[in-house]
Amino acid sequence: MSDLVIQTWNLTKQYDGRAGCKNITLEVPRGVVFGFIGPNGAGKSTFVRTMLGLIHPTSGRAEMMGRPIGDIDTKRKIGYLPELFRYQDWLTGRQLLETHAELAGVPRHLRKKRVDDLIERVGMAGRADGKIRKFSKGMQQRIGLACALISDPDLIFLDEPTSALDPIGRREVRDLMSELKREGKTVFLNSHLLSEVETICDHVAIIHKSELVVQGEWRKLTEAQTRVQIRAAGLTKGILNSLDGLIRAWEPVDSSAEDNTQRFLLQLSGDDQIPELVNLFSQRGVMLYELVPIQPHLEDVFLHWVNRKEQEHVLNRQTVI
């Protein structure tokens, strides 16, 4: 069995030659919570809807679990919570789950237990027998989540799954995603909430203006901009500039008159350059009091890659002109 649950080759869906997603070549490993991030309107939902066969690609191809998109048997192993979660609101929550269990081909003898378990799991116990039209948005999202899991899928697409939830609900959904990961399932999390993705995802793909910017383990994507904060005495502008092969950028943070030290924020090419930096400071007589690697945030990674893509666009435009 392949280690990739999703694989796409230049998958493109354009509407009248605009928007949508363009030339997306993506690989999603099995058993991870995969964050698909990008600004609103970047093309995230278009990509997911194309993968699910709701819309037809303009060009390119894609596979899920080794089968082309739209394959009926593959769909038995897939769950989906759409961003615009709209269900048959004339049904009760329980009836909705029973209906989807039937549509998903869940064996009849398993349905009742599966429905009961999921109602419990998404925190809808005692409330699932009400009509969906009377549910709050948060309750609808919870029942939608249960609906996505009704076939006990191997791959679950969650499109903005916490958009209608309160902080407690968000936490519960994050825990649920972690549980699914532990069960060996793959969660494709489509979100623009970077803090949420950062907490639970190891792998991400960043999409911007319909194009894939970068993909991989997001902590590795930060290597390009390892940052450290230092407190030192005797560190001059001249010394910092003399190390331009090592230090990619620097900026003063503050200075202390008491011990004559100053704080700087330095950007290096990678973590492996930190020992060399300390060594060079020592050779140049810099008194190093403190060196703190700054833990990267997904937001930094995201902004770094998006800005880089923006600059490429500007350069391309200038070249054309």
Q: Which residues bind other proteins (CB under 8 A)?
A: 49, 52-56, 72-73, 75-76, 78, 80, 82, 84, 86-88, 90-91, 99-100, 102-105, 144, 147
- Angle at which helices 93-103 and 137-148 cross, to 10°: 20
Q: Report, in Å, the least distance between residue 155 CB and other proteins.
A: 11
The nearer residue to other proteins, 100 or 309, going by C-beta atoms, is 100
Is residue 179 within 8 A of residue 118, CB to CB? The reply is no
Beta carbons within 8 Å of 43's beta carbon, 6+ residues apart: 19, 20, 21, 22, 24, 207, 209, 210, 211
**Smaller CB separation from other proteins, 67 or 171:** 67
Residue type, 157: F
Q: How far is the CB of 105 from other proteins (least distance, A)?
A: 6
SS3 24: strand
Residue 107 or 275: the one with the smaller Cβ distance to other proteins is 107
Tokens of 179: 């549980």
Q: Which is nearer to other proteins, 57 or 296 (CB)?
A: 57
**Closest CB to other proteins among residues 36, 80:** 80
- Quote the least distance from Cβ 115 to other proteins, whole Å: 15
In angstroms, rounded to a whole number, what is the distance separating the alpha carbons of residues 13 and 46?
A: 7
Residue 55 or 246 with smaller CB distance to other proteins: 55
Residue 54 CB, nearest approach to other proteins (Å): 5
Nearer Cβ to other proteins (14/269)? 14
Q: How do beta strands 33-37 and 203-208 pair?
A: parallel
CB of 305 to other proteins, least distance (A): 30
Based on CB atoms, which residue is closest to other proteins, 73 or 254? 73
To other proteins, the closest distance from the beta carbon of 132 in angstroms equals 11
Spatial strand order of the sheet with 226-233 comes to 247-256, 261-268, 226-233, 287-293
Measured distance CA(278)–CA(286) in Å, rounded: 9
Q: Report yes or no: 38 and 194 within 8 Å, Cβ to Cβ.
A: no
Q: Is 277 helix (H, G, I), strand (E, B) or coil?
A: helix
Cβ nearer to other proteins, comparing 150 with 268: 150
27 forms beta bridges with 7
**Nearest distance, CB of residue 225 and other proteins, angstroms:** 38
Q: What are phi and psi of 320, to 5 degrees?
A: -65, -45
Q: How far is the CB of 191 from other proteins (least distance, A)?
A: 18
Rg of the chain in Å (alpha carbons): 24
Strand duo 27-29 + 4-15: pairing? antiparallel
C-beta separation of 87 from 143 below 8 A: yes
Taking the C-alpha atoms of residue 250 and residue 48, their distance in angstroms, rounded to an integer, is: 40
CB of 80 to other proteins, least distance (A): 4
